[in-house]
Amino acid sequence: MVTIVRYDGRRIVLQTMLVCTSLYVLSAPQTKPFRLLGVYHHELSHAALALATDKGVMAVTVALPNEGGSFESTEPTGLIVGLAGYLGSMAVGCLWLVGSTRRMTGVIAALVTFLASVGACFLPLDHGAATCAVLMVVLSAAVLLGAWLWSALGALLLRAVGTFLCLHALFDFLSDARTRGSDIDQFAAALGVPSAVCAVLYFGALLAFAAAATVRSVRGDLRPGPFYFRPSAFGSTIVEPKRLWVRK
């Protein structure tokens, strides 16, 4: 059986541009407020898993000055909740990124984020976290509207936000891994393995998720949905994605 693997050149160019833009946002001092969206998803992932394990949430904060955040629970949450921040943020990013080319995945990604952010508004959030929650509600609603009004807008938002969240999760992990007493250090101590080994394995898993989502987002879809970037929407003709190789 032969499986034809197609890659869309337009998606590759667009994805490269968004990666470069996201790297700029992650490094430039002027774009610090935008980086709080990644912090918000990190802390909200802690809170979501704490609630799922019957733990109360005392506070979720996102602070602009030190570009950080915190999560406080009513009782000890354990190491699993402590490690949920990176994976949760990466999962949301991957879902949005893959959703830019698949209609149902895109709708699910936007709907889950919309409901989670609306629900977060009922948690004890500080001003920074509440602002991020409202912004994600607006972005998710825009994606859902784009599914019916203009597919290119929904696809662009999904791809841009997904790319940024994936990269932020990776850089956030690298930054925290250099800090003594981080979640990784505590997890490694509980397992009885060196922190460096635990960090490499965890970062490898995050990198694998991000790479898989990125590769899937640039593959041509033989049955494109409304989130497919149609060149005709910009006044040009539709060109079938080129076949790069055949995999047996």
For residue 238, the model assigns a pLDDT of 37
CA distance 35 to 176: 15
Measured CA to CA, the distance from residue 46 to residue 78 in angstroms comes to 11
pTM of the prediction? Answer: 0.81
Q: Which of 176, 66, 86, 70 is nearest to 129 (CA)?
A: 70
pLDDT per residue as tens digits for the range 193-228: 788 888 888 899 999 999 999 998 888 654 444 444
Phi, psi of 219 (to 5 degrees): -75, 140
**Gap between the Cα atoms of 91 and 115, Å rounded:** 16
CA distance 73 to 211: 33
pLDDT in tens, 64-108: 777 888 888 887 777 777 778 889 999 999 999 998 887 788 888
Per-residue model confidence (pLDDT) at position 5:
54
1 has a pLDDT exceeding 50:
no
Answer whether 93's CB lies under 8 Å from 162's CB: yes
Q: Which residues contact 14 (CB under 8 A, 6 or more apart)?
A: 159, 229
110 exposure class (CB count in 10 Å sphere: 0-12, 13-18, 19+): buried
